[in-house]
Amino acid sequence: MIPFLHFGSLTIPTFGLSVACAMLVAYFVLRADLARRGIADAKSGEAETLVASPCLAGFIGAKLYHLLESPAEFFADPWHLLFSPYGFAWFGGLLAGFATFAFVAWRLVKRNAAEGKSISFLTILDAGSPAAGIGYGIGRIGCFLSGDGDYGIPTALPWGMSFPNGLVPTTARVHPTPIYELLVACAIAWFLWRMGAPDPAMQGAETSKAGKKSDVIYAAAIAPGKVFATYLILTGVARFLVEFIRINPRSFFGLSNAQAAGALSALVGLALYAKLRQRRPSS
């Protein structure tokens, strides 16, 4: 594995590099989705705010949640652990990142309302779902390259791998769970992108009798919020299942923290989807 890249006196952690790549890809996906939905022009800068702010908050939340999981260890050496480049909890990043994204999205809705534009808060959450899916998957490449202990239990399968030079080394052949999550995340992001595509029938109506196309008006094929609900369900189920073969410690009823969070995510997504079933698509 390659925990660090060395360029002379410069050392770059591969985990941080992967997270930066994840943010960049998520930005382009979100910008494209906001543009096709008519929420924000590609040059407006809204996508930068909707990606950068949650990512920064997610880093802080992931670090604080990890430290508070073991308060005795933290208070024994607070400054070193606080500024260490290691030790981030997925659930803490999820909570802080989502809360910040929701706040920025709410402000965007309010600003558009003041300008006479009606945009649903749920629609913005829909637009952010494919970006969140692909960003999470690319971020997992950093876990794989650094060998930070996010790998799985020992396996005899032909694609089992060892991480002798990882940050948390192991010579046993184990499940490369970050690769599993990367593949699943890419599939989820693709599915959500297709799910949020505009209604083809409505798009066809944009062409006038003279054969000229009018300004693009996004017309959803499904009710606002369903893409986001599906994101919660699919990512929650994926995380719940992969934890069965991961080495994370168990806490809640024999489940790891991330597994319990995945189950909660899926349940919230199911409840939201059920509530939205009676709603109609909107322009």
Residue 86 clears pLDDT 70, i.e. is over it: no
Residue 215 confidence (pLDDT) = 47
Residue 116 clears pLDDT 90, i.e. is over it: no
Owner of token pair 């985990």: 15
Residue 206 confidence (pLDDT) = 46
d(CA 33, CA 133): 13
Q: Of 141, 142, 130, which is closest to residue 50 (Cα–Cα)?
A: 130
Q: Which residues pair with 161 in a beta bridge?
A: 174
Residue 213 clears pLDDT 60, i.e. is over it: no
Model confidence band, residue 200 (pLDDT cutoffs 50, 70, 90): low
d(CA 78, CA 146): 24
pLDDT digits (tens, 9 = 90+) for 40-56: 777 777 788 888 888 88
pTM of the model: 0.83
Residue 80 sits at the vertex; the CA angle it makes with 22 and 24, to the nearest 5 degrees, is 10
Q: Please state the rounded mean pLDDT for residues 204-228.
A: 62
Helical (H) or strand (E) element with 252: none
Give 193 or 210, the one with higher predicted confidence. Answer: 193
Q: 74's torsion region: left (phi>0), alpha (psi -120 to 50) or beta?
A: alpha
d(CA 21, CA 138): 7
Tokens representing 119 are 């945009």
Residue 201 confidence (pLDDT) = 63
Model confidence band, residue 212 (pLDDT cutoffs 50, 70, 90): very low
Model confidence band, residue 241 (pLDDT cutoffs 50, 70, 90): very high
Model confidence band, residue 61 (pLDDT cutoffs 50, 70, 90): confident
Residue 192 confidence (pLDDT) = 97
* 3-state SS string for 66-105: HHHHCHHHHHHCHHHHHCCCCCCCHHHHHHHHHHHHHHHH
Give 204 or 148, the one with higher predicted confidence. Answer: 148
Residue 11 clears pLDDT 70, i.e. is over it: yes
d(CA 136, CA 160): 22
Residue 240 confidence (pLDDT) = 94
Query: Is residue 198 helix, strand or coil?
Result: strand
d(CA 38, CA 46): 12
Q: Please state the rounded mean pLDDT for residues 154-166.
A: 94
Q: In this structure, are residues 147 and 1 in contact, taking their beta carbons and an 8 Å threshold?
A: yes
Work out the mean pLDDT of the chain and round it to a whole number: 83
